[in-house]
Structure 1
Amino acid sequence: MHWLWVFIVGLVVGLIAKMFMPGKDPGGFIITAILGIAGSLLSTFVGEKLHLWGESGLVHFLGSIGGAAILLAIYHFATRSSSS
């Protein structure tokens, strides 16, 4: 059940991360949602393994936003480099 919540929160986190990352997103909503889910999963896995936070809480949510924003920035960098 925990990972289901991570998946659901990842959708929300992707949208929040998109607000912090201005610019046109070539993939639109779907790519943003996928990156949000991936960022949330990655942040959850790494944060829990390093004992930075528990299974829930505000710090966990903020870490998920950070993970999604990092993945979104990498995605923007990769799509800009390949299109030029």
Structure 2
Amino acid sequence: MSILWAIIAGLVIGLLAKLVVPGRQPIPLWLTVVLGVIGGMIGNFLASAFGVADTRGIDWIRHFFQIGAAAVLIGLVTPLWSRRKA
């Protein structure tokens, strides 16, 4: 069940990250989900490193780290994906 939640969270994080990154990102949905999952894991690590992983209520700072990490990944991967041979 945790794998399903990771995929759902990756989808949400990835889609929000695509909204943050300027311009068009012509990457497929499956790559958006993968980058969202990886961004979520990096964001959780950063939130733990800064001591803000568990706060009262909604962990907004952790979510900002997750979306930010996914946005960076999308920004790095999109040009590589666009240049690949079909």
TM-score (norm 1): 0.73
Instruction: Supply the RMSD in Å over aligned alpha carbons.
Output: 2.7
SS in 1 for 2:26: coil
- List alignment gaps of at least 5 residues for structure 2: none
In 2, are the aligned partners of 1:42 and 1:67 still within 8 Å (CA)?
yes
User: Partner of 1:34 in structure 2?
Assistant: 34
Shift of 1:10: 2.5
Instruction: Note if contact 1:10-1:64 (Cα within 8 Å) is conserved in structure 2.
Output: no
The alignment of Structure 1 onto Structure 2 pairs a total of residues equal to 80
Alignment-derived partner of residue 23 in structure 1: 24
Gaps of 5+ in 1: none
Please tell me whether the aligned partners of residues 47 and 61 of structure 2 are also in contact (alpha carbons under 8 angstroms): no
Question: Where is the helix percentage greater, Structure 1 or Structure 2?
Answer: 1
Counterpart residue number, 1:14: 14
The letter of the residue matching 1:54 is: A
The alignment-based identity, stated in percent, is 24
